[in-house]
Amino acid sequence: MSYQPIRPIAETAESVTLSRADFLRLSELLEDARDLAEVERISAKLAAGETEVFPFEVAERLLDGDHPVTVFREHRGLTLRALAERAGVSASYLSEIEAGKKPGSFDAMARLAGALGISLDHLVPSRED
């Protein structure tokens, strides 16, 4: 994309009138700048070890409606019993959570998130309205 200067149609002390094309170009540049700032923010979090990138398959399974606990447990290579032991919950309770029969208490979900090394936010199942 070549540089094209913005040329105001009219100017006063309080306003500037632009062509629609210039306005749209400015809007796109602003959106690009916001996107770049977000990329830089996430890159800094990755470099600091404050966040993690998950494979596409994880996102795909979550979007398909698989239970987040199951998805992240399998992503971490854990059996149901191993995760239950790490989190200090019974295997039967974890099985009911993964099957959607029980929502899981806040305490249990927080312990599962800790055992999986992820944010509790990642374990909130997506809901279709």
Q: Please check whether residues 38 and 67 belong to one and the same domain.
A: no
For residue 40, pLDDT over 80 is answered with yes
Residues contacting residue 122 through CB under 8 Å, at least 6 positions apart: 68, 72, 113, 116
Q: Please check whether residues 42 and 63 belong to one and the same domain.
A: no
Reported as a pLDDT band with limits 50, 70 and 90, residue 99 is very high
Q: How far from 19 is each of 6, 22, 29, CA to CA, in Å?
A: 9, 5, 15
Q: Please check whether residues 111 and 60 belong to one and the same domain.
A: yes
- State the average pLDDT over residues 49-70: 92
Q: Please check whether residues 63 and 86 belong to one and the same domain.
A: yes
The parent domain of residue 109 ranges over 56-123
Burial of 94 (0-12, 13-18, 19+ CB in 10 A): buried
CATH number of 114's domain: 1.10.260.40
pTM: 0.66
Reported as a pLDDT band with limits 50, 70 and 90, residue 125 is low
Q: Please check whether residues 112 and 68 belong to one and the same domain.
A: yes
Cβ 61 vs Cβ 122: under 8 Å: no
